[in-house]
Amino acid sequence: MEELARNIPNDWKTLGRRWNMTEAELDSIHKEEDQCRERAYKMLLKWKQAEGEAATFTMLYNALCHHLVDRKDLAEKFCRDK
């Protein structure tokens, strides 16, 4: 997750919204962390903790491929052989 977070510094909020995170949750992460990659990492951790076993590579792949995120390159890199 840390490596993925380094690759989505500008897309982390959009990705979080695909998992129905609230603006309040995203704003809280934004305020807590100074660096974009740390914000992305915290968002990914929050998603994983909230979803538990439902936080699958398929769910991640679909969110990364969503037309608003448009990061199929990362979906292929991080999810294809899992």
CA dihedral defined by 18, 48, 57, 35, rounded to 10 degrees? Answer: 70
pLDDT at 81: 66
Domains and CATH numbers, the chain: 2-79 (1.10.533.10)
DSSP 75: H
pLDDT-based confidence at residue 80 (cuts at 50, 70, 90) = confident
Closest CA to 7 of 46, 49, 48, 60: 60
Please report the beta strands in the chain, taking only residues with DSSP state E, as ranges in sequence order: none
> To the nearest whole percent, how much of the chain has pLDDT over 70?
98
pLDDT in tens, 16-51: 999 999 999 999 999 999 999 999 999 999 999 999
